[in-house]
Amino acid sequence: MIEVVKTVIQIIIPLGILNVWFFRNGKRTTYRGKNAENLKAEFKAYGLSDSVFYVVGFLKITSAVFLLIGLFVPVVVAPAAATMAFLMLGAVLMHAKVSDPLVRYLPAGLMLGMSLALLL
């Protein structure tokens, strides 16, 4: 049963990340920090540079892809999940930095929890 849950999580995380970075990056959502209009503006609202935006995007997309690859090559799951957990902790801290309401922490907090679950 635990393996089934881990497999489901291993699919949910990448689908969520790829959705945000490829399909919803230019859109306003309920969860954007400081009511930013898009993903890049959200990073600006946190006081982060364009370089950080691109590095974080690369790491999140790469980790998401490796989580999917991990369905067939399990050795890549732990490093990908650890990277994702680190990035999601950063996202939670950025929401705290700008004093966002708790609802805006929800996606990052859930992704953090699921990433940590993959490491257990």
pLDDT tens by residue, the chain, 120 residues? 899 999 999 999 999 999 999 999 998 898 999 989 999 999 999 999 999 999 999 999 999 999 999 999 999 999 999 999 999 999 999 999 999 999 999 999 999 999 999 998
The rounded distance, in Å, linking the Cα atoms of 85 and 89 is: 6
pTM listed for this prediction: 0.93
- Give the gyration radius of the chain's Cα atoms: 14
